[in-house]
Amino acid sequence: MGLDGVRFVKGHGTRNDFVVLPDPDGTLSLDAAAIRAICDRRAGIGGDGVLRVVRTAAEPDAAADAGAADWFMDYRNADGSVAEMCGNGIRVFARYLVEAGLAAPGELAVATRDGVKTVRVPAAGDVTVDMGRWAPIEGAFTVTVGTRHWPATGVSMGNPHAVAVVGTLDDAGPLCEVPDVVPVFPAGVNVEFVVERGRGHLAMRVHERGVGETQSCGTGACAAAVAVRERRGDPLPATYDVDVPGGRLTITVDADRRVLLSGPAVLVADGVLRG
């Protein structure tokens, strides 16, 4: 099925913005070129990515989770590449399910390429998602901007992150490279530049793979909190407010390596695709 006449919804989580495409029966054909056209900020709707809303039973990639979750979040980066997980995206996805009448407010399960996630969606207000367990990515990584270099901590939140603690967020860009990581990150890596603003308070900028610098990254904020917690040895559970250019997210890391992400999820427009 082509995209002409397909309905869409536009939403964001701390200004990390997405085009939501309802496709309950899995009939849409989405190739990389179509995703790039939709996400184009001049000639398309514009967004950091696309969230396709499909029933798990109708999506081969999610069929194994059909008994655990009714809906599958098919997330694509703005360049058309497939991503395992998106922390801001899943909150927007869940808010859409509730506002579209496809799920009731409260706790719901959403299938992703990183497994089934539990999301708490009130009738109004911030949305909280259990992101699951974080995992270390072994290796010594260096982030380079111009002639400056910083050591980075590798953290997996279902997708890969390299977190560099820096002196100022002005150090964050433009990002040049993350050397010597191709064998570890063959599909690319998200890079977070983090400053500590006090106990339980961080700020960051992020370069997302397949997108570039964005206003926010939910999995990146989780990875930043994990990396700082490991660096400082703060007692668990540990909660951090993470300021991003688009707003604030709250992250809690528990003793079992589980991570909770809480923040706004807002739907701002809907319409019909043409062309």
Catalytic center residues = 86, 217
In terms of Cβ atoms closer than 10 Å to its own Cβ (0-12, 13-18, 19+), residue 207 is buried
The structure tokens 């497939």 sit at 82
Measure Cα distances from 62 to 32, 73, 114, 184, 192 in Å.
20, 9, 10, 26, 29
φ, ψ dihedrals at 78, nearest 5°:
-60, -25
User: DSSP assignment of 199-223, as one string?
Assistant: TTEEEEEEEETTTEEES--HHHHHH
Measure Cα distances from 180 to 158, 161, 194 in Å.
21, 14, 21
**Other CB atoms within 10 Å distance of the CB of residue 101:** 7
In terms of Cβ atoms closer than 10 Å to its own Cβ (0-12, 13-18, 19+), residue 147 is exposed
**Other CB atoms within 10 Å distance of the CB of residue 33:** 9
